[in-house]
Amino acid sequence: MWVLPLVGYLGLILGFGFLTLAIASGLYYLSELVEEHTVLAKKLLTRMIYAVMVLQLLLWLVDSFPLSLSILSMASHLVYAQNLRRFPIVKLTDPLFILSCILVLINHYLWFRHFSTPPPRSNYYPYNTSRDYSIPTFTEIASYFGLCVWLVPFALFVSLSAGENVLPSMGSDTPTPDAEPISADGNDHLLPLPTLHEFLTLHREIVKIESISGNEYKVGWWLVSYLKENGFNVETQNVGVGENGNTRFNVLAWPGDSKFTKLLVSSHIDTVPPYLPYSFDTKDDKIYGRGSVDAKGSLAAQVTAVISLLANDSAPLDPNDVSLLFVVGEETSGDGMRTFSDSSLNPLNYSAVLFGEPTENKLVSGHKGSMGFRVHVTGKAAHSGYPWLGVSANNILVKILSRLIDLEAGRVEGAELPWSEKYGNTTLNIGTVFGGAAGNVVAEKANSTVAVRLAGGSPFEVQREVEKALAPVIEDVEKAGGKVEFEYRNAGYGPVDMDCDVKGFDCITVNYGTDVPWLKGDHKRYLYGPGSIFVAHSAHEAIAVRDLEQAVLDYQKLILEALKE
């Protein structure tokens, strides 16, 4: 008989391979959980260590475990706890980690020797079939080793598996206490590694949550939970109902006794569509995903900057001096900031407000104004074979849009859009064009939306120049039996000047709109953030890790400088 033994060997090999893969898969899954939930994992491990120490104390007091071994076990777990200071980063050559490994071996050997020696008072004999309750069973011994000797070291081992890839550019070197750049994985970091890890974890988690304007509910509640865990008082402010029926709300947080502070630090939690998932490219050290730049990069850097300043005993930041405001709807109508501005939560006497938007790590001295309008054209429908019997709304709209292009280029006599040396020319963007019902029907209805970026003047002045430029076209339309109407969206605003008086920053102007003009009050206004607006709304929105790090340091500087006023 030789076939059956071969089958037995084959089964043994396959079974061993399956068991090995199962264990490896389990460890990989656990490391993934640690990677995804590092804050929760650290808290769980800390509580686990103290629970084991309490259990060890009870075993000594109640079950008369040896005092010397109990003290050794509790002291070992205190050493294990020190590895959590940079969790989940565990460096193999760290003396603390090496000591932890040695203590695991010592604990295993001494407790194994203890349990292998029967108590002197027992009536133990090799063939005694009666149970002597002074001698622990195999299950009790195995459970003790599993919980009190191996559990915490095993958890640290899992963390070691996760630590290498938990976040971009984390490395494993010990951070310098004064936050100077350090070498890790070939990169020089500007932040201490524990701060960097917490910061990039925050950034990753909020980018992973889809929060297109109108659907900010989930990221809002995640942020509320995070801020509360870090010691902030938090209040939410209702801003209506979103498209999916969930409540939309702003998040106001303050670390001190009062929500009414000298300085307000603000950004927005909504993004433009479509949602793009979080990813990290090791080749260019960049984080990709919708909102990674606009404006969750600013948001994460602002929160980290405030938390770091509050935790720094040498930093002159009073918890009662600063508050955080994160609003919805910035990408659409600014309804989040306008709701806050008109509410009792706005004290109207901030000394300064620090807004977060992608500015390439530069201070913004001002941005263009903004307004928008829709042109509605009504004609007369007819069969396309007899176009003279109708009035084509599409043809009229084409003439109107062509006239607007000429106005922007300065080719319309008697009408001129405002301009300025600081902001350049006012620009128009024809965003959408709709018209007609079918290819063989003279269009009865047509419309177009137009966005205007004001380099000077006011929305009223732009409206006047637009209608002046279109007056001849409208006159011809009305004579032909057509109709043109303008629908102006929101109030709009002219160019917005901001403060740029902090030394060490380059100052620029930008052409996009922000929430800055919607916040009422007589306060200094600073606009700053990491990342570039040129990729912010694109399919390749991305931000460099180093730019994020620099933003934390710059926000700290801006906060302290603003509070000096």
* Catalytic (active-site) positions: 330
Asked if 59 and 70 count as a contact pair (C-beta separation under 8 A), the reply is yes
Other C-beta atoms closer than 10 Å to the C-beta of 522 total 8
The packing angle between helices 193-208 and 217-229, to 10°, is 160
CA-based nearest residue to 73, from 47, 109, 117, 119: 109
For residue 88, say if its preceding peptide bond is cis, omega within 30 degrees of 0.
yes
- Cβ-count burial 308-318 (b if 16+ within 10 Å, e if not): bbbeeeeeebe
Structure token digits, residue 307: 């938390």
Asked if 356 and 296 count as a contact pair (C-beta separation under 8 A), the reply is no
Q: Can you tell me the distance from the alpha carbon of 293 to that of 365, in angstroms, rounded to the nearest whole number? A: 20
Q: Can you tell me the distance from the alpha carbon of 317 to that of 558, in angstroms, rounded to the nearest whole number? A: 12
Q: Can you tell me the distance from the alpha carbon of 295 to that of 531, in angstroms, rounded to the nearest whole number? A: 9
Q: Where are the alpha helices (DSSP H) in 241-334?
A: 296-311
Residues whose CB is less than 8 angstroms from the CB of residue 3 and which lie 6 or more positions away in sequence, other chains included: none
Asked if 288 and 357 count as a contact pair (C-beta separation under 8 A), the reply is no
- Cβ-count burial 84-101 (b if 16+ within 10 Å, e if not): bebbbbbbeebeebeebe
